[in-house]
Amino acid sequence: MKIIVAIKQVPERDARIRIDSGNKWIDLEDVEFSMNESDAYALEEALQLKEAHGGEVIVVSAGPERAGKTIREALAKGADRAIHLQSSDETELAAYDALGVARLLAASIQDEKADLVLTGLQSDDLGLGQTGVILAELLGLPHASLILKIEVAGNGLKVLRELEDGWFQHIELATPAVLTIQSGNTKLRYATLMGIKKAKTKEVRVIAVADLVASDPSLKPTAPSVVLDQVKLPHKQRSTQLLGGSPAEAAAALVEKLQFEVRVI
């Protein structure tokens, strides 16, 4: 089975949040990056499928040069090769909305004719949760989202999909297909030192965004339909009354509130 995993490099979870001077994104100076969490699970699913059924795992990632680090991390974990859709700087991709980025990704993986395309459910930074589903539409493939488990069944797949309120369902679909993977259902592997050593010798095909656009003018970001105007730090939805003092004092103060103001005791 030939599996493509679309992964994204995002700021680390405990990154310092400071809005940059353009008010469009955070200041990336001194920010560390890591692989988007649900993408890491998508990669893990792909590697497990390959181990069980053979085949090839190819990662694709759109981002500036720094995303190469995350790509090589995926190679170290066991992906066979990679496609880096490389933007020239931090802002080039910001001119595209989710559909625009998905078009670029689709154009860069089209020729691979993969049996399966996996992505994480959503990114931890923009959180749009759409790239995988849009990719399916662009590639003309069926899809299923919020997937926890993938089994090969006959000529197709049987996948476990998470529903709301603790419900689940199985979905059967033929390959080629696109699946978006939910986090948390399996243990993520560590990159072994052997894998890290080998990663250096694996192929990373770098495609410059500008070159891809030049080859297909319909990919141009002429007018994204959705435009980010500005970002702000959230204001509190409620005013929190902080109860201080020693643990015992804070506990006593809280119990008093629960008794006389919330009236639940």
Chain positions 107 to 146 lying near other proteins, rule: CB under 8 A, are 124-130, 133-134, 136-138, 142-146
**Which helix (H) or strand (E) is 87 found in, with range?**
none
Q: Is 220 in the site for other proteins (CB under 8 A)?
A: no
Residue closer to other proteins (CB basis): 38 or 108? 38
Q: Is 22 in the site for other proteins (CB under 8 A)?
A: no
Give the shortest CB-26-to-other proteins separation in angstroms: 7
* CA dihedral sign of residues 186, 190, 195, 200: positive
Pick the piece of the chain touching other proteins (CB under 8 A) from 1-9, 50-58, 171-179, 208-216.
Answer: 171-179
Residue closer to other proteins (CB basis): 51 or 211? 51
* Token duo for residue 28: 């990336």
Q: Which residues contact 27 (CB under 8 A, 6 or more apart)?
A: 18, 19, 20, 21
* CA dihedral sign of residues 120, 232, 228, 90: negative
Other beta carbons less than 10 A from residue 8's beta carbon? 23
Residue closer to other proteins (CB basis): 24 or 211? 24
The single residue among 4, 7, 11, 87 that binds other proteins, judged by CB under 8 A, is: 11
Which 81-110 residues touch other proteins, going by CB under 8 A?
A: 97-100, 102
Give the shortest CB-233-to-other proteins separation in angstroms: 7
Count of residues interacting with other proteins (CB under 8 A): 93
Cα 175 from Cα 164, distance rounded (Å): 26
| Residue closest to 173 by CA, chosen among 120, 115, 129 | 115
The single residue among 16, 53, 113, 220 that binds other proteins, judged by CB under 8 A, is: 16
* Token duo for residue 237: 């939805």
